[in-house]
Amino acid sequence: MAEESEIACPSCGAQVPDIEGPGHAYLGTVPGCWALAGEVFAREYSDAAYAKAHGLTVDAYAVQHQGEPERRTIQSLCVHLIGLHLAIDHGMPLDASRVAKAQMFKRRPDFEWLELPEIPQWMTVSDVIAARSAAEHREIVEAWARSAWSAWAPHHEIVSEWALPLRR
């Protein structure tokens, strides 16, 4: 069997399989990165011990793949940044964060496009896929989420302002 070649995902920088197939509909993913995310999501959907990290997984992945500036990507990026802010800066439980993020859409906020300041040296989905147990998975996902949130530090103030109604 031939060895699978790898490429760097242009959004997150992860080394991922260079495969044919779909990427995400509007996030800036390559098929290999989206396939790795699918493996992580499947692990979380199929085992309750892994599922505890799912909200952070989705938020971290989404903020590392912001796509092009259009309505869906702007909303996605901003809501997932809010999710990381609530979980990391305020210790909000993931179930409460999920509900809070859903409330954002009811308010129809005027989010703005945020540019990632630079290509960061952060953890990626390829770090998570290596977890060998549910406990290790949760630990890696938490570190990944902190890594992703940290990269957006220049925008923390505006994200905090958007999230203010959710913290009351």
Residue 151: the pLDDT is: 95
Is the pLDDT score of 72 beyond 60?
A: yes
Residues 6+ positions from 137 with CB-CB distance below 8 Å: 43, 50, 53, 128, 131
Residue 25: the pLDDT is: 87
CA-based diameter of the chain, in Å?
Answer: 57
Residue 167: the pLDDT is: 64
Residues 6+ positions from 50 with CB-CB distance below 8 Å: 43, 44, 134, 137, 138
Span 42-57, average pLDDT = 95
Residue 138 falls inside a structural domain: yes
Range of weakest confidence among 4-13, 48-57, 117-126: 117-126
- pLDDT tens string 89-146: 999 888 888 788 777 767 666 789 999 877 778 999 999 999 999 999 999 999 999 9
Residue 145: the pLDDT is: 97
Residue 114 falls inside a structural domain: yes
Domain count, the chain: 1
For the chain, the distance separating the N- and C-terminal CA atoms, rounded to the nearest angstrom, is 57
What domain range includes position 57?
A: 6-166
Residue 1: the pLDDT is: 45
Strands 6-8 and 15-17: antiparallel
Is the pLDDT score of 36 beyond 70?
A: yes
Percent of the chain at pLDDT exceeding 90 = 67
Closest CA to 113 of 53, 72, 143, 165: 72
pTM: 0.92
Mean pLDDT score across all residues of the chain:
90
Residue 1 falls inside a structural domain: no
